[in-house]
Amino acid sequence: MRSLLFNIAYWALSITYGLAAAFAALAPGRKATSWIIRRYVRRMVQAMSLFAGIRIETRGKERLPQGAFIIASKHQSWGDGFATYDQFDDVAFVTGDHLEKFPLLGTVLKKLGAIVVNNCGGHAARAALRERAADANREGRKILIYPEGHLARVGEKFRYRSGVWHMYRDFDMPVVPLATNLGLFWPLEEFHKNPGTATLEFLEPIPTGLPKAEFLDRLEAAVEGKTAELIAEATGQPVTPAVLVESKEESAQAAAAAKAVSAAA
C-alpha cells in the first residue's frame, strides 16, 4: 500500500510540476523554471517520507568547499536525483539523453541548464559534456554527475567513466564524492519501496591537480568504500565490497569484437 500511494503521488507531482515547468520555460531566463523544479524536488522528498516511509539523513555537508565544485555520486536509485538536488539551491546536473524522449522534458532540461549527453559515450558525448559543463562553470554553479553512468544495484558497481575527470581537469574544480544507500529503500526504478532512513554522505573533497588514473582510483575508492559501509550500517550485515559488472554498452562492444575476430578467422 505504501508503494502504491507513493507512486500515485509521484505521477501526480511529476505531471503537475512538469506542465508548470514547461510553461515557465517559455519565460526569459531560467529563474521561474528553476523555482518550480526546486519546489517539485522538495515535494517529492516529502512524499517519499509521508507515503513511502523513506526519510533522508544527510551527513558531511560541513565538508563541502566554498564556491563551485563537482559532486560525483553513487547512483542506486531513481530517487538519488531528488535527494541530492534537494540539498542545494542551484545545481547543474549531468543526465543521459534518454530523458529527452519524454514530451516537453527536453525543453525544461535546456532551460534549467542541465548537461545532457549521449548515454553511449564517445568523442561526441565528451565534447557535449565539456561545452555544457563550461556554461555551468562560468555561472559558478555546482555540478552533479554520476560517474558510473548507470543505475547500479545494491552491491554492484559499473566502471567509473572519465567524464568527471575531464571536468575536474578542464575547470580546475574540486570533486566531492557522495555515497548513499538509498537503493536499499528505493531500488533502481522499481515500484516497490522499503521504509527506513536512507543516508547521503558527502565525503572529503578531492583536491585539484591529480592525474587521471590516481583521481579515478581515489574517487571510486571513496564512493564505493563509504557506500558499502552505509549499506552495512543499514542492514546490520558485514561490509561487502561491490562487484564490478559490465554495462550494456560494454557487453555489446565485447560481443561485436568477438564477432569481428570470429569473422576474420
At residue 237, the pLDDT reads 96
126 or 146, which is more confident: 146
At 224, the pLDDT band (50, 70, 90 cuts) reads very high
Bigger pLDDT: 94 vs 213? 213
Among 8-22, 98-112, 113-127, 174-188, the least confident range:
113-127
Asked whether the predicted pLDDT for residue 126 surpasses 70, the reply is no
Q: Which residue has the higher pLDDT, 138 or 49?
A: 49
| pLDDT band of 95, cuts 50, 70, 90 | confident
Instruction: Enumerate domains of the chain plus CATH numbers.
Output: 56-245 (3.40.1130.10)
pLDDT of residue 139: 76
Give the pLDDT of residue 74.
97
The predicted model gives 132-158 an average pLDDT of 87
Provide the percentage of residues in the chain whose pLDDT is more than 70: 89
Say yes or no to pLDDT of 265 above 90: no
Check residue 180 and give its pLDDT: 98
Query: For the residues 129-142, what does the mean pLDDT come to?
Result: 75
pLDDT of residue 121: 56
Q: pLDDT category, 201, cuts 50, 70, 90? A: very high
> Mean pLDDT for the chain?
88
What is the reported pLDDT for 81?
93
- Would you state the pLDDT for residue 241? 96
Per-position DSSP letters for the chain, written without gaps between them: -HHHHHHHHHHHHHHHHHHHHHHHTTSSSSHHHHHHHHHHHHHHHHHHHHTS-EEEEEE-GGGPPSS--EEEE---BTTHHHHHHTT-S-EEEEEEGGGGGSTTHHHHHHHHT-EEE-TT-SHHHHHHHHHHHHHHHHTT-EEEE-TT-S---TTEE-PPPTHHHHHHHHHT--EEEEEE-GGGTS-BT-S----EEEEEEE-PPBPTT--HHHHHHHHHHHHHHHHHHHHHHHH-PPP-PPEE---HHHHHHHHHHHHHHHHH-
